[in-house]
Amino acid sequence: MSAGVLPYTVEPHPVTGLYSGKLGTWLFLASEVMLFGGLFSAYILLRVGAPEGTWPTHEEAHLSWKIGGFNTLLLIISSVTMVMAWANLKMNNFPKARMYLIVTVILASLFLTLKISLEYYPHWHDGLKPSTNVFFGLYYTLTALHGLHIFGGIVVMLYFIGPGAGLWKTNPEYYTNRIECTGLYWHFVDLVWIFLFPILYLMN
């Protein structure tokens, strides 16, 4: 579908002050807030209501704050590189913007690799599965859902790095807006992890 088919793909709508893609992204993120908000609330209520001694400690849960902290750093840096990609597009520097998108994908992929290899795999090897107890049921639900969002972001970025990059030649402003919307989504995904990290790794 060409950019001309949809109205306000570049210029802001006179009523909302936002172009269509950005408005749609904010509405989507609002639904995501409700999704993760419900899961966070469930975790907190079940944690507070758990009988004394039934909730696993960090040692029992085999969760390392060092691994979680390093992954947090990776996502924070990836948010910076995403902003740099968008900023370079605004300055009409596509090669540098593409480079920053590639770095963002690498950081996100490293996050998933470390999560799976250093946490998921050892947990399953030790028999710590979603059915083990309430904590691990919530742990896998929260972190796996977040991981799916990370993977989705990687797929979108790879598209704009690869076949979707052709839009830059035909309609650079529209392409820049798409990267901005991708960035908004990515910042939300990073923000979710910033809440997950202390709840799962520091306050357990």
Tokens of 175: 């392409």
Domain range list for the chain: 20-202
What is the pTM assigned to this prediction?
0.90
Spell out the per-residue pLDDT of the chain, length 204, in tens. 444 466 666 676 665 666 777 888 999 999 999 999 999 999 999 998 888 878 888 777 888 899 999 999 999 999 999 999 999 999 999 999 999 999 999 999 999 999 999 999 999 998 889 988 899 999 999 999 999 999 999 999 999 999 999 989 988 998 999 999 999 999 999 999 999 999 999 886
What is the SS3 assignment for 117?
A: helix
CA distances from 57 to 50, 101, 136, 201, 204 (A): 13, 38, 12, 10, 6
Please give the backbone phi and psi of residue 62, each rounded to the nearest 5 degrees, phi first: 55, 45
CATH class of 20-202: mainly alpha
Distance CA 164, CA 3 (A): 13
